[in-house]
Amino acid sequence: MTGTGPHNPLRTRLRALRPAAFGADPSGERWERIKRSPNFSDGVFQNPVGARTRPSGGSMIEFAKIYFRKEARARRSPVGLVPLHTTTLADLAREPASGLRLTWMGHSSVLAEIDGRRVLFDPVWGERCSPFPFAGPKRLHPVPVPLAALGPVDVVVISHDHYDHLDLPSIRALASTDTVFAVPLGVGAHLEHWGVPADRLHELDWNESAQVAGLRLTATPARHFCGRGIRNQQHTLWASWAVAGPEHRVYHSGDTGYFPGFKDIGAEHGPFDATMIQIGAYSEYWPDIHMTPAEGMRAHLDLQGGEPSGAMLPIHWGTFNLAPHPWAEPGEHTVAAAAAEGAPVALPRPGEPFEPTAERVPSELWWRAAAPAPAQGRATSGDKGSSPEVAPTA
């Protein structure tokens, strides 16, 4: 039907008026490929199981009352400075003894060193996860190290196009290097718009793989949504990722609600030496698109074939205020969930490299030094709380 796709003439004219951070709509052969995807129907990408992506009607009003309550706002940010690891670059200069090392940079950004290769997941070095430099969620702690100081990266992996996972300043900085990018189907339109050459893009549908520098990267299903503009067109895919080297395997969840497909991903691509699992920005108002810490631990166990093996690294918390739950609650609830299952969980400070297969992984409850009083972040509200991304994507 004329005028219904992302490439219609009116939308083309409007593109020139929107901020660069909004990215670009898929068009041409990319749009044709999207329409052929088995995960695309009725004009949008579909979740593996149904998902409500935002509160609506009365629940939106109720959520707003909770979110903007003064005492609740105070609990959503740390007090004082968030403890950071101070020797990141010196530590990274030494080769990992095991061949596998992870460095959580905050939120969902992780540098994974796998069998001599370097993979950077969801790099967000910007000051705000927002299309605007003057508004939107601001960092609660500095990045542990400058992006340029990290050195060469073999591949950058993007889980989806929300602002707290796909950051324009970071992508532009990385576009000036020789790294290649692995992204879900449709997301390549944003990266090309920002200067990434098409020949450095691997754009994958769910269950498709690419070989990069001896690593096998597979886009695996997730239960979430997409969008960077005022209107959410659902024309870019979201994904989790399985990355396998000659000796080690890791998994990055991106953003996702819990769904039975974790068992299938684990059976096909696991078990994993480490999983990086989203455990923050959950809410009873959108239970289908972000996992609670308990659900994150359940997903980790599913990915490991039901066994409490491999280290789980909690991600998507501590760096941005995206949710009405207390700032430190995801960390506390993850520790409790891990203890209940007898599963190993790694608790590095932002910037602290660790080797998941080592005898010991970081275990200090570092956030308690900055958690608002009096509960020290150990909330009793259960796994409730939170908001997805900044307003234009929510």
Q: Are strands 249-252 and 240-244 parallel, antiparallel or unpaired?
A: antiparallel
The model carries a pTM of: 0.90
* Alpha carbons 326 and 293: distance in angstroms, whole number: 13
Cβ proximity of 83 and 349 under 8 Å: yes
Model pLDDT, residue 390 = 36
Kindly report whether the peptide bond that precedes residue 271 is cis, defined as omega within 30 degrees of 0. Answer: yes
Give the tokens for residue 104: 């959580």
pLDDT below 70 — which residues of the chain? 1-17, 55-58, 60, 67, 230-233, 374-394
Sequence-distant (≥ 6) Cβ neighbours of residue 246 within 8 angstroms: 115, 214
Q: How many CB atoms lie within 10 A of CB 53?
A: 19
Model pLDDT, residue 381 = 40
Q: Fill in the DSSP letter of residue 314.
A: E
Model pLDDT, residue 117 = 98
Model pLDDT, residue 226 = 94
The DSSP result for 325-370, as a single string, is S-TTHHHHHHHHHHHHHT--B--PPTT-EE-TTSS------GGGGT
